[in-house]
Amino acid sequence: MNGSNRPRALWASRFGFVLAAAGSAIGLGNIWKFPYITGQHGGGAFVLVYLACIALVGVPILMAELLIGRQGRRDAVGSFVVLERPRSPWMLVGWVGVTASFILLSFYAVVAGWSFDYVVMAARGVLQDRSPVEIEALFGALVSSPVRVIFWQGLFIVTTVAIVLGGVRGGIERCSRILMPALFVLLLLLFGRGLLSAGGVPALRFMFQADFSALSPQALLDALGHAFFTLSLGAGTMITYASYLDPEADLGGLALRIALLDTFMALLAALTIFSVAFAAGIEPGSGPGLVFQTLPILLLELPFGSVLTLLFFLLLAFAALSSSISMLEVTVAYLVDEKTWPRWRYRAGGGCGFSGRFTQCPVFQPLAGV
Ligand code: PFF
């Protein structure tokens, strides 16, 4: 049994789709991971290899995934049934996507939860007037406190669920229309501030002057792996999102726009972080702690440092949220399409809540729509 005969939600516009798909692509991978792996692999040459992987491998696979979704008009598993036949071995690809996105969400929510915690710490001024050693220790205290980590991870997941419950248009698209422009403005602000600092020119040099002697085989593998991760490939996300597209959509143009936006934001984030690092005379190869340990120390040394720190962690939280909703949507679409589950359970006469009708719930009214 499947839900293929039920009316399917569509994006309100192609622009809305681009925002949602770019929202999926632009996430912790761009702002947290890309800068630190670029730092570890020595900058320019790695960036060139990464750009080649995006153009030669990422974009063609992105187009293929969009095509499967648009033609199949079902979830990541069901699209292969439509395009091939029931029980086709290709369904395995869809299954891998559903499983991968679900597992990914559990780890993603942990790091995203850290960024929620940092937003609150920055807003409360906890990071101010601290020595670098104390700021580094704050990160250690956070990750070694199960209560704090689970609380923020839980809150992040609840927020993700609330948005996905709103449906394709009323939840995901509406949210992306707010989160993506906000993300762009925040990043541009921080980028402008970073570039004006003494580290601006060294950061540009580090990112765009290629020294191929610094490249290792591991760098090539990391660039390729990251091209998949950053474009949300192989996780059923792009298949699922494209299944809500109108059948006439031009996939080449859409794929290019998504990849360009994603690459632009990654380069901007890395340049921002490296300018701040170079301004403080720090080498950018400090690994995964770069964003949570090194960056706050450096940002707080700049004028309006506490505002910049707050903006940066808000940026990280927004980026994570627009990606996590896409991960959850893969599983939700599978359950709705293949198992005929309603997105929101309805019980006649039920009140608001899990047994009530979502669109009647005043709390979620602003998000409801589809
Ligand atoms: N593209 C996201 C990032 O760069 O952070 C990560 C991601 C999102 C991977 C959604 C896979 C996915 F399905």
Ligand 1: atom nearest CA of 262 is 4
pLDDT at 4: 55
Angle at 152 (CA atoms; ends 147, 157), nearest 5 degrees: 125
Q: Which of 47-61, 125-139, 169-183 has the highest mean pLDDT?
A: 47-61
- Residue 238 Cα to ligand 1 middle (Å): 10
Instruction: Provide the pLDDT confidence category of residue 9 given band limits of 50, 70 and 90.
Output: confident
Q: Which pTM value belongs to this model? A: 0.89
Rg (CA), the chain: 21
Chain centroid to Cα 105, Å, comes to: 10
pLDDT, tens only, 313-357: 999 999 999 999 999 999 999 999 999 888 876 544 444 333 334
Please determine, for residue 363, whether its predicted confidence score (pLDDT) is greater than 90: no
Tokens of 34: 């890309």
Asked if residue 240 has its Cβ within 6 Å of ligand 1, the reply is no
Residue where the block lists tokens 């962690």: 313
Determine if residue 291 is left, alpha or beta; phi over 0 gives left, psi from -120 to 50 gives alpha, anything else beta: alpha
pLDDT tens, residue by residue, 103-130 = 999 999 999 999 999 999 999 999 988 8
Is the pLDDT at 283 greater than 80, yes or no? Answer: no
In angstroms, how far apart are the furthest CA atoms of the chain? Answer: 69
% the chain with pLDDT above 90: 70
DSSP 176-233: HHHHHHHHHHHHHHHHHHHHHSTTHHHHHHHHHS--GGG--HHHHHHHHHHHHHHTTT
**What is the Å distance from ligand 1's center to 231 Cα?**
6
Q: Which protein residue's CA is at the shortest distance from atom 7 of ligand 1?
A: 232
Task: Give me the pLDDT at residue 139, please.
Answer: 92
Residues 6+ apart with CB under 8 A from 234: 61, 96, 97, 100, 228
- Region 213-220 average pLDDT: 91
Among 232, 326, 327, which is best to mutate for testing ligand 1, by the most ligand atoms less than 8 A from CB? 232
CB within 8 A of 202, min separation 6: which ones? Answer: 274, 275, 278
**Contact indicator for 195, 273 with CB cutoff of 8 Å:** no
Residue among 286, 287, 306 nearest 296 (CA): 306
CA angle 99, 57, 37 (to 5 degrees): 75
369 or 346, which is more confident?
346
Q: Which residues contact 321 (CB under 8 A, 6 or more apart)?
A: 112, 156, 159, 160, 163, 175, 179
